Amino acid sequence: MSASLGGFVKSVRNIMRQDPGVNGDAQRIEQLAWMLFLKVYDAKEQDWEIDEDDYVSIIPEACQWRNWAHDDFSGNAMTGDKLLDFVNITLFPTLKKLPVNPSTPIKKAIVQTVFTDANNYMKDGVLLRQLINLIDDIDFTDYEESHAFGEIYESILKELQSAGSAGEFYTPRAVTDFMAQMVAPKIGEEVADYACGTGGFLISWLKQLQPQIKTTEDREAYARSIYGIEKKQFPYMLCITNLLLNDIEMPKVYHDNSLTRKVLDYTDKDRADVILMNPPYGGSEKADIQSNFPKDLASSETADLFMAVIMYRLKETGRAAVILPDGFLFGNDNAKYSLKKKLINEFNLHTVIRMPGSVFAPYTSITTNILFFDKSQPTKSTWFYRLDMPEGYKHFSKTKPMKLEHFAPAMEWWSNRVEIADANEGSFKAKEFTAKELAELGYNLDQCGYPKEKKEILSPEDTMRNFVERRAELDKLMDDKLAKIKALMEELD
C-alpha cells in the first residue's frame, strides 16, 4: 500500500467530500481514525484467537469488523441505510458502553477509550460502504505497512495545512531506525518518547530489540519496554493501534501533555533508560506552561521545553538521542544558552549528527540535527559529523525519501571516528571539540555545518516563521543586553 499511499488518502478524501455529513478536515480525520482502528483491532484479534485458546473479544460478535464491515462481494454486505443504521444505532452505542473496569486488560479497554470521543459523521450509507471497502483492502501485516501509519497521518495533516504551524512532523523511518540503532537497545531497558506522535520511535526501538528476545522473560520485558505520551487525540489513537500491530498488548502510551508537570517534581520512577525524541518545534503552548520550568530554562519554544523535560527525565545511567533544529545549535537566547550549558556540564554530549536539509521533505525544509548524549559524566568532548546528501541526490522528496542506507557513511564513521576536513580550507565534515572549546564558543554547537554557498529556499510559512522567531529571539537578546548595560551604568563605584 505504501506505493499508493497518496492515492489512498486522496480516495478517502474524495469519498468523504461527497458526504453531506462530514464537515471539514477535522471531522474527516476523526471518521478515518476509528475506522482504521476497528480494522486493525480486528486483524489483531484474529491473531490473539490463535495464540490464546480462551480468548474472548470485548467486542460483541455482531460489532466485529469481520462480521459487519468485510464485504465478500456476495451481495450480502450491508450498505445504504441499513449500514448507516447499524453503525449509528448498534455499533457506536455498544462500543461506547463496553463494560470496562480497572482490571480489564489495556488491550481490551482500549476499544472503549477510543470510542468514547469518536463519532460517525457520515450520513450516506453508500459512501460509507465505499470507504469501508477501501480501508478493508489495506493489509497491515508487515513492518513497512504499519509504519505507513505515520505517513497516512502526515498526508492528512499536510492536507490540513497545519503541519507547519503545529510543528508535528512525521519523523522519517530511516531517521528513527538510525537513532534506535545507534542507542543500541538492550532487553530490560525502557525507552520513552514524550511527544510520540504516531509512535515512530517506539516502533523502531522494538524493531531493534526484537532479535534479542530469547526467553519468555525477555518477551515480557520487550512488551514493557516502551513509554509514550502524546497530546493529540488522533495521533494518539494511531499510535496505540500501531503498537497493537507490533504485539505490544499493553502499550504504556498516555494521552497527555508532557509539559504540564513541574520538571523539578520528577523522581527516579519517572525517568527512562533511553529517550528517543523529535520534539515539536514552534508548537504553541499556553504561557503558564513555562512556570513548570526553572526560570533559566523557560522558553516559548516547545523544542527547548522538551529538551528540558528530557534532561530531567533521563536516568543517571540513561542515554538519549534527540532531533533538534539548527536554531537550537546556534541559538543564544537565555533558555537555549542555559540548556546547552547544562548539556555540556552535566551530560555527556558525545555526538552531534548534522542532517541534510530535505530529510523531512516535502513537509518542511527545516534543517535538523541528532544530538546523542548520556548522563555518564560531564562532556569531555563532542564529535560533530555532517551527513552529506548521498551521491546522485540533490535533495530528498516524497518520491525519493531518505533511506536507512543513506546513514551508512555516518555509521561507518561512528565506530571509527576521525577528523575529516572539507576540500575548501577551514571547514570540516567531522571534528572533535572539547567542552572547553565549546564553552569558549558561547556554546554555539553550529559546527561542521553545510558550506553555505547556496541559500536554502524555505516555504513562505517557514520563511515567515523563521523570521518572526529569530526576530523575537534577537529582540529578547537585545532587551536582555540593554538591561544588563543599564544595570551596569547604574551601579556606581
CB of 21 to another protein, least distance (A): 22
Amino acid, single-letter form, for residue 429: K
Other CB atoms within 10 Å distance of the CB of residue 416 = 6
CB burial of 88-108 (b: ≥16 within 10 Å; e: otherwise) equals: eeebbeebeebeeeeeeeebb
Which x/- pattern over 155-174 shows residues binding another protein (rule: CB under 8 A)? Answer: ------x-------------
Q: Does 399 bind another protein (CB under 8 A)?
A: yes
Q: Which of residues 332-371 bind another protein (CB under 8 A)?
A: 361-362
Q: Does 398 bind another protein (CB under 8 A)?
A: yes
CB of 363 to another protein, least distance (A): 11
CB of 148 to another protein, least distance (A): 18
Q: Does 403 bind another protein (CB under 8 A)?
A: no
Question: Which residue pairs from 472-477 have beta carbons closer than 8 angstroms and sit at least 24 positions apart in sequence?
Answer: 472/300, 473/331, 473/332, 473/333, 476/333, 476/334, 477/332, 477/333
Cα–Cα distance measured from residue 177 to residue 184, given in angstroms and rounded to the nearest whole number: 11
Which residue lies nearer to another protein by CB, 281 or 347?
281
- Strands 272-277, 314-325: pairing is parallel
- Tell which one of 3, 287, 418, 489 touches another protein (CB under 8 A): 489
Cα–Cα distance measured from residue 361 to residue 378, given in angstroms and rounded to the nearest whole number: 35
Which residue lies nearer to another protein by CB, 269 or 394?
394
Q: Which of residues 11-30 bind another protein (CB under 8 A)?
A: none
Order the strands of the 191-193 sheet from edge to edge: 253-255, 226-230, 191-193, 272-277, 314-325, 368-374, 348-354, 381-386, 428-434, 420-421
Q: Does 457 bind another protein (CB under 8 A)?
A: yes
Contact region with another protein (CB under 8 A), list: 60-68, 261-269, 302-310, 463-471: 463-471
Q: Does 423 bind another protein (CB under 8 A)?
A: no
Q: Does 56 bind another protein (CB under 8 A)?
A: no
Other CB atoms within 10 Å distance of the CB of residue 27 = 16
Classify residue 61 as exposed, middle or buried by CB count within 10 Å of its CB (0-12, 13-18, 19+): exposed
- Tell which one of 214, 269, 394, 452 touches another protein (CB under 8 A): 394
- Tell which one of 5, 100, 439, 458 touches another protein (CB under 8 A): 458
Say if residues 325 and 303 touch (Cβ distance below 8 Å): yes
Q: Does 287 bind another protein (CB under 8 A)?
A: no
Cell digits for 428?
Answer: 570540516
Contact region with another protein (CB under 8 A), list: 74-82, 236-244, 263-271, 467-475: 467-475
Amino acid, single-letter form, for residue 417: R
Name, in order, each residue with C-beta under 8 angstroms of 102's C-beta and a sequence gap of 6 or more.
none
Q: Cα torsion for 55, 61, 63, 69, to the nearest 10°? A: 100
Task: Give the residue among 374, 304, 291 at the shortest CA–CA distance from 339.
Answer: 304
Q: Does 435 bind another protein (CB under 8 A)?
A: no
Say if residues 80 and 124 touch (Cβ distance below 8 Å): no
Contact region with another protein (CB under 8 A), list: 82-90, 252-260, 299-307, 391-399: 391-399
CB of 86 to another protein, least distance (A): 33
Contact region with another protein (CB under 8 A), list: 80-88, 119-127, 289-297, 476-484: 476-484
Contact region with another protein (CB under 8 A), list: 223-231, 404-412, 426-434, 483-491: 483-491
Q: Does 269 bind another protein (CB under 8 A)?
A: no
Cα–Cα distance measured from residue 30 to residue 22, given in angstroms and rounded to the nearest whole number: 10
CB of 485 to another protein, least distance (A): 5
Which residues bind to another protein, rule: CB under 8 A? 161, 361-362, 392-395, 397-400, 454-455, 457-464, 467-468, 470-471, 474-475, 477-478, 481-482, 484-485, 488-489, 492-493
